Amino acid sequence: MKIAHLTLKELIDTASSSSGINVDVGPFAFNLRSKEKTFLSTFRDLYIDFPVVPSDEVVDFYIELNSPNNLRKYFGPQVNVTLDGEQPFQPFAITHGMPLFEWGLNWCIARQGQHLFMLHSAVLERNGKALILPAVPGSGKSTLCSAIAQRGWRFLSDEFCMIRPSDGQILPIPRPTPLKNESIEVIKDFSPDAFIGPLFPKTRKGTIGHLRAPSDSVASMKKTATPALIVFPRYESGSTINLKPLNKSYAFLKLTTNSFNYHFQGQTGFDLVCKMISECDTYDLVYSNLNEAIACINQINDDL
Amino acid sequence: MTFKNLYDEPSKSLLLDFLNKPSSAADFNNQHWTLLIRTAKACKLLAHVAWVIDQHNLNSILPEKVKNQFIAALKIAEFRQRQTLWEINRLRRALKSFDATVIVLKGGAYLLLKLPFAKGRLLSDVDIMVKKANINNIEQMLLEQLWESQKVDEYDQHYYRQWMHEIPPLSHPLRAVEVDIHHTIIPPTSKFKPDPNLLFTDAIKVDDINFKVLSPCDMVLHSAVHLFSDSDLGNKLRDLVDLDQLFRHFVSQNTNFQNHLFKRARELGLQRPLYYTFKFTHQFLGTPLTISKQEISSISPPFPVSWLMNTLVPLALLPENPNHHRQSVRFARWLLYIRSHYLRMPLRLLLPHLARKSLMRIKADED
Amino acid sequence: MSERIWQSIPNISFYDCSDNEIIIYNPLSGETHQLNLLALDVLTFLNQPATVDALNHYISSLYESWQDMDVELQLLVEQFDEIGLIS
């Protein structure tokens, strides 16, 4: 059963109950309890294709999103997120439940996903070969990734490249992509049919709108992918497209700094990066035009 | 056991049952695993549970998600262990020309001795002990080699040096692992005063490195006095697990171990913490006792104290059911918190210190 | 100082990037380092215990000597000691 099979009222009733609702996002499943109707409505829209897990299954995280019981409910009401019994974030305005939930889920994954090797990267797949786009400030990674996903690539993740140590395979986690500020309009123009949820102004990162993952990508989220291309993107307004192969030593160290948990992984982390650098082609890509960037990336994917 | 029952029985501890009989996991359903994991996480024993599962060859029965959580927990434990051993490595290098004895305490010692249960332990700092006369010397040596004092606040420096007769922790900026340097195994202001010279005399060498560790008896007594006299016992099941594991290991090497321990406790004046150790490890973790009940009773506290501890310790120390938090537990923990401070420092120091701690907490809440 | 015997720690992992750079992993510290070919030769030579004098001789046999070679090698040894690759 998917979220789509529940009406909004059914979702609210289940999430408000003491047992909450269990949702599978690929390598992880979480239990969600919340009484916040606005948040749940947005959640339903953005997670509509994800499977609901039976309540007696083991889950990885326990997430609760509710109003703290304080005087603020009379003026400027807030919403707080509790993650496995802890509250690591300050409360947000009650209208901003969705960004708070997404950051909370990121926190859970980064903290607990130590059985996997995690890169702070977007991931997509085409022709059986996965493209990794490491996050670097100014890269425009999320915008580029979203655009590529709208042009025939399977979307695996915007934020977390999860690699299984036993075989180096990437595990998809195709959650909504948080687009920021100008990117929202860029993607709306690029792909008018893409579903973007409500906009949340004045967050730490400016205005955020969440792009729903393509249904096909969510449907195939249990299908792993083999790393083949690592491209470090950099958006430079007005620039000519420039694809430059990287020295392996440079790419190796860049990848280790891009990882969430390279230091935790010890020998396993080193061995996995060795494998990836051996088996993948690595590039820097400077671009200003999404279509040009996509054409370039398609080409190197075809050439593999 | 139905799903409803598990969550409605706050006093039953699945985690304790599992630790007493790991093979019971073969009959676990998903709800059992969920409750076990949540409880273990709450008392920082997830890595230990994962280690126990591995020791009993139960990995094949684990649901996928449970297996992943155990792998993740052991990965983190392994990282912390590597950090600790590396810090000890760097300390050995820095102290090459320090010609007095350095004893590694607690988790660092368990790692150096390669005690099997050390694989499932989470560590955070490195504790070492030198003779009191050498404290300033060793502090100086480390400061010269770029370790830094962690407490900058004047009150904290004063608290450590004047009141607790210790030096504030050090850490090296490149690694940020806290190094605590002691000259005895319990704060010198405590009512228990084990003679440190006896500890140094019995300390044993480890392989070919220049640091030592406490003798097995002293290692257990250190852990015992740390838990039962230097801590508030709140949610400290993992410390009791350490004691249980140390017992089992040392008894397996020497069947007379508990008798030696009894004698040693008398030499060091630590019979009371040893009594609590025997009593509660046996009661909660089924630790086998090779020493007689009469001998244990001979070191028990008088009736009002024994009754009080028998009531409070289970409430405070054992993990709660994550869905049932009880006022009685909160109260027991508070009482034992006061007790631990009272044992750690005389009243004339305790009251001003507690007042300042409360003030700091109020200030922190306001910020 | 030159009488002191140095030896590389065991079980260092190496990855040859084929661009005259080697990435290594120190299993004791958990740290990753980038070495050039000279540094790799020094580390490999010290798999067997040796003094800095012996190292100087060995490196002179592999490479053409350069000014301040012995000073640089001394520095390299000190750096390796600092990061725990030799002891």
- A85: chain B residues, CB-CB within 8 Å: 42, 322
pLDDT average, residue stretch B14-22: 94
CB contact under 8 A, C28 and B83: no
CB contact under 8 A, B75 and A56: no
Q: Is B58 in the same domain as B120?
A: no
CB contact under 8 A, B34 and A113: no
- Of B51, B77, B103, the residue at which a domain comes to its end is B77
CB contact under 8 A, B90 and C84: yes
CB contact under 8 A, C19 and A248: yes
- Of B53, B77, B101, the residue at which a domain comes to its end is B77
CA-based nearest distance B247→chain C, Å: 29
Q: Is B52 in the same domain as B178?
A: no
Chain C, nearest residue to B83 by Cα: C29
For residue B250, the model assigns a pLDDT of 96
**In chain B, how many domains are there?**
2
Q: Is B71 in the same domain as B111?
A: no
Q: Is B275 in the same domain as B175?
A: yes
For residue A68, the model assigns a pLDDT of 83
For residue A147, the model assigns a pLDDT of 96
Q: What parts of chain A have a pLDDT lower than 50?
A: none
For residue B278, the model assigns a pLDDT of 94
- Of B17, B44, B77, the residue at which a domain comes to its end is B77
Q: How confident is the model at residue C2 (pLDDT cuts 50, 70, 90)?
A: low
- A56: chain B residues, CB-CB within 8 Å: 3, 29-31
For residue C34, pLDDT beyond 50: yes
For residue B27, pLDDT beyond 70: yes
Q: Is B181 in the same domain as B210?
A: yes
Burial (CB count within 10 angstroms: exposed 0-12, middle 13-18, buried 19+), residue C75:
exposed
For residue A75, the model assigns a pLDDT of 73
Query: Is there a contact between A39 and A11 (Cβ–Cβ < 8 Å)?
Result: no
φ, ψ of residue A278 to 5 degrees: the values are -70, -40
pLDDT average, residue stretch C75-86: 94
Query: Is there a contact between A3 and A52 (Cβ–Cβ < 8 Å)?
Result: yes
Token output for C1 = 């100082």
- Sequence-ordered list of residues with C-beta below 8 angstroms from that of B234, at least 6 positions apart, any chain: B316, B317, B333, B336, B337
Q: Is residue B296 part of a domain?
A: yes
The domain in which residue B48 lies consists of 3-77
CA-based nearest distance C51→chain A, Å: 30
**What does the pLDDT look like over B306-357, one tens digit per residue?**
888 888 888 788 887 766 677 888 888 888 877 877 776 666 666 666 677 6
For the entire predicted model, the pTM comes to 0.91
User: Please, what is the Cα angle at B139 between B137 and B145, to 5 degrees?
Assistant: 105
Interface check for A112 against chain B (CB to CB < 8 A): the answer is: yes
- C84: chain B residues, CB-CB within 8 Å: 86, 89-90, 93
**What does the pLDDT look like over B101-136, one tens digit per residue?**
999 999 999 999 999 999 999 998 999 999 999 999
C-alpha A222/C-alpha A219 separation (Å) is 8
Axis crossing angle, helix B30-42 with helix B64-94, rounded to the nearest 10: 20
To test the contact with chain A by mutation, choose from C11, C19, C23 the residue with the greatest count of A C-beta atoms within 10 A, namely C23
For residue A36, the model assigns a pLDDT of 94
CB contact under 8 A, B65 and A56: no
For residue B13, the model assigns a pLDDT of 85
Domain ranges, ordered by start, for chain C: 13-82
C-alpha A304/C-alpha B217 separation (Å) is 64
| Whole-number average pLDDT of chain B | 87
CB contact under 8 A, C27 and A266: yes
Interface check for A194 against chain B (CB to CB < 8 A): the answer is: no
For residue B158, pLDDT beyond 90: no
Chain C, nearest residue to A248 by Cα: C17
Q: Is B180 in the same domain as B44?
A: no
Count of CA atoms in the C-beta half-sphere (13 A) of A193: 5
Q: What is the 3-state secondary structure (H, E, C) of B64-116?
A: HHHHHHHHHHHHHHHHHHHHHHHHHHHHHHHCCCCCCCCEEEHHHHHHHCCCH
Interface check for C14 against chain A (CB to CB < 8 A): the answer is: no
- A268: chain B residues, CB-CB within 8 Å: 75
For residue B60, pLDDT beyond 70: yes
CB contact under 8 A, C30 and B82: yes
Residues 115-144 of A with CB under 8 A from B: 115
To test the contact with chain A by mutation, choose from B30, B66, B324 the residue with the greatest count of A C-beta atoms within 10 A, namely B30
CA-based nearest distance C28→chain B, Å: 6
Interface check for B85 against chain C (CB to CB < 8 A): the answer is: yes
For residue A101, the model assigns a pLDDT of 97
Query: Is there a contact between B246 and B220 (Cβ–Cβ < 8 Å)?
Result: yes
Q: Is B212 in the same domain as B263?
A: yes
List the subunits that have 3+ CB pairs under 8 angstroms with C: A, B
What are the residues of chain C with a beta carbon less than 8 Å away from any beta carbon of chain B? Answer: 28-30, 81, 84, 87
For residue B346, the model assigns a pLDDT of 62
For residue C65, the model assigns a pLDDT of 84
List the subunits that have 3+ CB pairs under 8 angstroms with B: A, C
Token output for A203 = 């967050």
To test the contact with chain C by mutation, choose from A247, A263, A270, A279 the residue with the greatest count of C C-beta atoms within 10 A, namely A270
CA-based nearest distance A83→chain C, Å: 30
Q: Is B31 in the same domain as B101?
A: no
For residue B7, pLDDT beyond 60: no
For residue B1, the model assigns a pLDDT of 34
C-alpha B135/C-alpha B130 separation (Å) is 6
Q: Which of B82, B83, B89 sits opposite C84 (nearest CB)?
A: B89
Residues 20-59 of C with CB under 8 A from A: 21-23, 25, 27, 30, 32, 34
**What does the pLDDT look like over C36-53, one tens digit per residue?**
999 999 999 999 999 999
Q: How many CB atoms lie within 10 A of CB B209?
A: 13
